Amino acid sequence: MAARTDTDFLDAFYERLATSLALKPALPVIKANAKVSIQVRENATTRYYFVINFSHRPTTVTLEVPLRQIFENQVVSGKQDLASYGVQVYMMNK
């Protein structure tokens, strides 16, 4: 018997587990696929979300709450397009 540790299996397993336990996302940014990375940095007053697409294909992320988009200095929410190899930085006050 061998353990299954491949990424596809683990992603599906954790998704089913979170759904069955009715867990809410820990981050306000929901990634569409495994090639999107979300890094969080914060200071005393602000939390920043660095969203990076490591794919050659554009993708979409979903913002669960309104966040300020740093590069365009506007508040956005819902589905947001992320270009191939694109980066977006969002912020919110704590």
Q: Residue 55 carries which DSSP code?
A: S
Please give the Cα distance from 92 to 64 (Å, whole number): 12
If one compares 22 and 86, the residue with the highest pLDDT of the two is: 86
pLDDT at site 25 = 67
Write down the CATH superfamily of domain 27-93: Golgi alpha-mannosidase II (2.60.40.1180)
pLDDT at site 42 = 95
Please give the Cα distance from 51 to 87 (Å, whole number): 6
Confidence (pTM): 0.74
Please give the Cα distance from 3 to 24 (Å, whole number): 28
β-pair partners for 42: 47
Element at 20 (helix H, strand E): helix 7-20
List the domain boundaries for the chain. 27-93
pLDDT at site 34 = 85
Q: What is the pLDDT of residues 1-59, one digit of tens each?
A: 667 777 788 878 888 888 899 877 678 888 878 899 999 999 999 999 999 999 999 99
Please give the Cα distance from 72 to 89 (Å, whole number): 10
Amino acid at position 19, single letter: T
